[in-house]
């Protein structure tokens, strides 16, 4: 019998959701009858809590403290409200809440604003399901003290999440330490109270006006108004069953771009994600329908957003790729957009958006996570800009002093830091469309831009190995093995240095990351995923030509796979 039956019964008594109540009631009944499978399920649900960290909350929908549900969200909202009241200087804190099209996103959002309002905060709910970047924008636009976005981004269909932003000095960025621990402590105090039904609620929250969305559309369209080369551009767009299209379509109209051919089966929000096994443009097969649509419409370009539209994927025609279309890597897109931003910053000769801690204006800078391509540093140096390498996550990238552009190889791009301090797949799409259209007006393609980049800055090539596990303890075991017995070589190339970021290398906050440098200048980075049960290996090389870089990358991948087999 489960050791957590009492916890399950206590949870059931406060659960306002009929679906999870029925789910939990059935499990309790089976466990009481001696069903070992039900007991194990209860143990998994109640032996721990979904941890609240710098990524907020994210997990599988279901009953229990180790799942995403209305009880957990109520505890999180009440704890976050207590944190905001504690840090306020006497005024009434304002918090704005948004939600996407995933299962229960709207329910979690309304629970949150009712609890925020009941706690005495000024709570504002966005007018309907909208992309994450609109919420990030709204925090700054409305001068809010905080924001909450209910989304699990590109996670599997049964997941949902709770992403937290702070206004004021944090400028609408996602939370970082120590705020995460402070919020988590408040949430735990609420959970220890044991009954969310006693939490005060109020329907006295506000509904954000449509003007907030209109302001986001105007600011995003201004990122790259359509040049003359945009006329007649044939391109395909997919929302990946997410919430992007309504906002994207308005931005396109205002910016002057031709309407795309839509992947109709994926254009409307649908939390079941029926046409993809995994709603992430990076996953194999996720863009197959987009490629099929592109071939049928003789398109020049494919653009995809993930379900909450904070990521951007791009594909171009490629006769050497099976099916004739190739999805660009996140690094390729990031380097193109970084090149665009660097040219603009170098020619503008105006202060960047960021401000140095001393109060002086920070020099314009490019920033990317440490697992992203080192090519961005080469771009920054070429144009005399500052460069910052950060820990993974836009909570860190967005805080780079003087940032004019930032990116992460996992299809995340910050192109408009003056208005959105987070990755934004819509403004990035507009910027990329602008580059494609300008090239088109010169008789060139995105592929030509990639070749020009290589000719200018060198041939940077990247790859990634992603290992999904059922038991996350396996990841900890691999990291421990690598630290206990560090490799002397990767394949046939000797290791020159290993940086263990748990020790706070190069000014980075401590993180579970190993950065392995090879004698030939190649780099291998190993880290656990922050949002999924995965171990990730990032491979980066530089060559004098695309062919030489490709060969060096193949050798590095083979060596990394051998290393992985040795430590698993």
Calpha distance 418→350 (Å, rounded): 13
Q: Has residue 531 got a pLDDT over 80?
A: no
Q: Considering the chain, what percentage of its residues have pLDDT values greater than 90?
A: 88
| Positive or negative: CA dihedral 30, 35, 38, 40 | positive
More confident residue, 568 or 551: 551
Calpha distance 558→489 (Å, rounded): 12
Q: Considering the chain, what percentage of its residues have pLDDT values greater than 70?
A: 98
Told to judge if 153 belongs to the known catalytic residues of this protein, a careful annotator would answer yes
Average pLDDT over residues 453-478: 92
- pLDDT per position as a tens digit, 111-148: 999 999 999 999 999 999 999 999 999 999 999 999 99
DSSP reduced 3-state for 370? coil
For 53-207, give the CATH class.
Answer: alpha beta
State which of 234-248, 389-403, 455-469, 494-508 shows the largest mean pLDDT: 234-248
CA end-to-end span of the chain, whole Å?
33
Give the residue from 229, 232, 233, 297 showing the smallest Cα distance to 263.
297
Query: Quick one: tokens of 295?
Result: 């071939």
In degrees rounded to 5, what are phi and psi of residue 439? Answer: -60, -40
Calpha distance 155→150 (Å, rounded): 13
pTM of the model: 0.93
Q: Has residue 509 got a pLDDT over 90?
A: no
Could you give the residue range(s) of every CATH 3.30.310.50 domain in the chain?
459-567
| pLDDT averaged over every residue in the chain | 94
Strand positions, DSSP E, 22-93: 57-60
- pLDDT per position as a tens digit, 310-346: 999 999 999 999 999 999 999 999 999 999 999 999 9
Could you give the residue range(s) of every CATH 3.40.120.10 domain in the chain?
53-207, 209-457
Calpha distance 38→28 (Å, rounded): 8
Q: To 10 degrees, the CA torsion angle through 449, 463, 475, 191?
A: 10
CB 517 within 8 A of CB 523: yes
- pLDDT per position as a tens digit, 46-78: 999 999 987 899 999 999 999 999 999 999 999
Q: To 10 degrees, the CA torsion angle through 243, 249, 252, 253?
A: -150
- Cα 468 from chain centroid (whole Å): 18
CA angle at residue 446 from 454 to 304, to 5 degrees? Answer: 120
- pLDDT per position as a tens digit, 338-383: 999 999 999 986 444 443 333 457 899 999 999 999 999 999 999 9
Q: Which residues contact 206 (CB under 8 A, 6 or more apart)?
A: 122, 123, 124, 125
- pLDDT per position as a tens digit, 167-211: 999 999 999 989 999 999 999 999 999 899 999 999 999 999 999
Q: The CATH number of 209-457 is which of 3.40.120.10, 3.10.20.440, 3.40.47.10, 3.20.20.370?
A: 3.40.120.10
What angle do helix axes 425-441 and 210-221 make, rounded to 10 degrees? Answer: 30
Calpha distance 500→525 (Å, rounded): 10
Architecture of the domain defined by 459-567: 2-Layer Sandwich (3.30)
- pLDDT per position as a tens digit, 387-431: 999 988 999 999 999 999 999 999 999 999 999 999 999 999 999
Beta bridge partners of 325: 317
**Residue 505 DSSP symbol:** G
Give pLDDT, residue 362: 80
CB 416 within 8 A of CB 223: yes
Average pLDDT over residues 497-502: 94
Calpha distance 184→179 (Å, rounded): 8
Strands 173-174 and 94-99: unpaired
Spell 515-546 as b/e; 16+ CB within 10 A means b: bbbbeeebbbbbbbbbebeebbbbbbbbbeee
From the candidates 105, 153, 372, 398, give the one annotated as an active-site residue.
153
- Cα 115 from chain centroid (whole Å): 26
Radius of gyration (Cα) for the chain, nearest Å?
24
Give the residue from 65, 59, 191, 179 showing the smallest Cα distance to 472.
59
């Amino acid at each position: 019998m489960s050791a957590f039956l009492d916890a399950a019964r206590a949870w059931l008594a406060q659960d306002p959701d009929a679906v999870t109540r029925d789910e939990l009631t059935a499990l309790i009944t089976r466990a009481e009858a001696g069903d070992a499978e039900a007991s194990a399920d209860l143990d998994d649900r109640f032996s721990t809590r979904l941890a609240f960290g710098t990524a907020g909350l994210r997990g599988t929908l279901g009953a229990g403290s180790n799942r995403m549900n209305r009880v957990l969200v109520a505890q999180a909202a009440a704890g976050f409200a207590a944190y905001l009241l504690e840090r306020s200087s006497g005024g009434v804190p304002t918090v704005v809440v948004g939600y996407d099209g995933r299962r229960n996103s709207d329910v979690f959002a309304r629970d949150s604003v009712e609890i925020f309002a009941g706690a005495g905060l000024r709570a504002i709910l966005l007018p309907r399901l909208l992309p994450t970047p609109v919420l990030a924008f709204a925090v700054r636009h409305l001068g809010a003290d905080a924001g909450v976005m209910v989304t699990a981004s590109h996670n599997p269909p049964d997941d949902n999440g709770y992403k937290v932003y702070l206004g004021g000095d944090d400028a609408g960025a996602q939370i970082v330490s120590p705020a995460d621990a402070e919020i988590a402590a408040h949430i735990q105090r609420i959970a220890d109270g044991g009954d969310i039904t006693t939490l005060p609620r109020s329907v006295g929250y506000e509904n954000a006006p449509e003007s907030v969305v209109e302001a986001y559309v105007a600011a995003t369209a201004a990122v790259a108004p359509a040049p003359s080369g945009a006329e007649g551009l044939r391109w395909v767009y997919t929302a990946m069953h997410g919430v992007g299209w309504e906002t994207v379509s308005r931005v396109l109209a205002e910016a002057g771009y031709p309407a795309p051919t839509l992947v109709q089966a994926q254009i409307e929000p649908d939390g079941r994600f029926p046409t993809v096994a995994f709603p992430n443009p990076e996953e194999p097969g996720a863009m197959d329908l987009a490629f099929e649509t592109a071939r049928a419409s003789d398109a020049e370009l494919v653009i995809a957003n993930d379900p909450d539209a904070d990521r951007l994927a791009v594909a171009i025609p490629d006769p050497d790729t099976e099916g004739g279309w190739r999805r660009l890597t996140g690094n390729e897109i990031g380097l193109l957009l970084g090149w665009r931003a660097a040219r603009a910053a170098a020619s503008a000769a105006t202060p960047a958006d960021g401000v140095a801690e001393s109060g002086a204006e920070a020099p314009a800078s490019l920033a990317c996570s440490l697992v992203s391509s080192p090519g961005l540093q080469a771009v920054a140096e070429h144009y005399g800009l500052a460069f910052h390498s950060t820990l993974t996550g836009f909570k860190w990238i967005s805080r780079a002093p003087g940032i004019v552009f930032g990116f992460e190889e996992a299809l995340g791009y910050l192109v408009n830091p003056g208005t959105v301090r987070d990755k934004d797949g819509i403004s990035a799409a507009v910027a990329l469309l602008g580059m494609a259209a300008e090239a088109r007006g010169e008789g060139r393609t995105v592929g030509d831009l990639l070749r020009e980049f290589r000719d200018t800055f060198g041939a940077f090539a990247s790859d990634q190995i992603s290992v999904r596990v059922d038991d996350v303890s396996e990841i900890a075991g691999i990291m421990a093995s690598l630290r206990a017995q560090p490799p002397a070589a990767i394949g046939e190339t000797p290791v020159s240095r290993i940086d263990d970021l748990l020790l706070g290398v190069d000014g980075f906050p401590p993180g579970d990351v190993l950065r392995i440098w090879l004698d030939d200048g190649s780099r291998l980075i190993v880290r656990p995923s922050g949002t999924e049960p995965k171990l990730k290996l990032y491979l980066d090389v530089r060559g004098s030509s695309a062919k030489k870089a490709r060969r060096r990358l193949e050798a590095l991948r083979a060596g990394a796979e051998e290393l992985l087999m040795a430590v698993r």
